[in-house]
Amino acid sequence: MTDLLRVHNVSKRFERLQAVDNVSLIVPAGQIVGLIGPNGSGKSTLFALLSGSQRAESGRIEFDGHDITHRSPDQIFQLGLVRSYQDPALFTRMTVLDNVLLPVKDQLGENPGLAPLHRIWRKQERDIASAAGALLDRVMLRRHYKTLASDLSGGQMKLLQLGRSLNGSARMLLLDEPTAGVAPKLARDIFHLVEALRREQGLTFLIIEHRLDVLFDFVDDVYVMHAGRVVAQGTAADIAANAQVREIYFGD
């Protein structure tokens, strides 16, 4: 099994707060790995370092053999490492369909030199539209394709966000609380979708989640953060039984 993501001793400080403190973790290709920890433990900041929106001040991040520690968010996205945000980063005044069409890479019609050559890009546009339809089917939103993103329910917004992350040659998704604010049944559906995407498209996942009851049914491996550090790693069963984790996480 090859490691798709390797994080070595990465740190990030905000003034006097050590938000991420010497964190190392590995995500093998094709796995679903959970990242848990109390509020403010540094999980989202770690995602910001992985996706390039914040710079690590020390350590090294490798994705698919590339050193991405100092790459831009766009370069990291192009390599196929795609982050979804804790607050849905949707274009709320656009339709569901436009939201999934937006991240498509390398559209020929956008190249000014090729724009006049309709015949070349018309087929590509048709292919993109049909892929977008399939994608909306996959995230259970096809019948809402004309709906404005702002009119979706919380759970539907999460699904749309997941759909948007998929549409860009993604190889690995960083999902930040994909079920936050979502009804319990839909929370499970979202994880079933993650599992299906892994199976069908070979995607790899690192998922921040507070709903441990759901997360633990789907993950291969779990990392626990506390005060910026990784304090435990193991299977869901290991983590559920870990006394230190129970103390910091569940307060027993």
Ligand X SMILES: Nc1ncnc2c1ncn2[C@@H]1O[C@H](COP(=O)(O)OP(=O)(O)OP(=O)(O)O)[C@@H](O)[C@H]1O
Residue 163 in the binding site for ligand X (CB under 6 A): no
Task: State the residue number with the nearest CB to Mg ion.
Answer: 44
* Spatial separation of the C-alpha atoms in residues 34 and 177, rounded to whole Å: 10
Q: Please, which residue, 17 or 134, has the CB nearer to ligand X?
A: 17
Q: Kindly provide the residue ranges of all beta strands, DSSP E only, lying in the chain, ordered along the sequence.
A: 3-14, 17-28, 32-36, 58-63, 66-67, 81-84, 172-176, 204-208, 221-226, 229-234
Residue 42 near ligand X by CB under 6 A: yes
Select 51 or 167, whichever has its Cβ closest to ligand X.
Answer: 51
Beta bridge partners of 176: 208
Question: In angstroms, what is the minimal distance from the CB of 220 to ligand X?
Answer: 21
Q: Total residues at the site for ligand X (CB under 6 A)?
A: 12
Tell me which of Mg ion, ligand X, none is bound by residue 37, counting a contact when its beta carbon lies within the kind-specific cut-off of 5 to 8 angstroms.
Answer: ligand X
Beta bridge partners of 8: 60
Contact, 33 vs 206, CB < 8 A? yes
Q: Give residues with Cβ within 8 angstroms of 202, minimum separation 6.
A: 29, 30, 171
Spatial distance between the Cα atoms of 112 and 237, rounded to a whole number of angstroms: 55
Does 89 sit near ligand X (CB under 6 A)?
no
Q: Which of residues 13-52 bind Mg ion (CB under 5 A)?
A: 44
Closer residue to ligand X, CB minimum distance, 37 or 178: 37
Contacted entry of Mg ion, ligand X, none for residue 42, CB cut-off 5 to 8 Å set by kind: ligand X
* Residue 96 CA: distances (Å) to CA of 73, 92, 144, 151: 24, 9, 7, 10
Choose among ligand X, Mg ion, none what residue 2 binds, the Cβ cut-off being 5 to 8 Å by kind. none
Is beta strand 58-63 parallel, antiparallel or unpaired with respect to 66-67? Answer: antiparallel
37 binds ligand X (CB under 6 A): yes
Considering only 1, 2, 16, 39, the residue that binds ligand X (CB under 6 A) is: 39
Residue 19 sits in the site that holds ligand X (CB under 6 A): yes
Contacts with Mg ion by CB under 5 A lie at: 44
Contacts with ligand X by CB under 6 A lie at: 14, 17, 19, 37, 39-45, 86
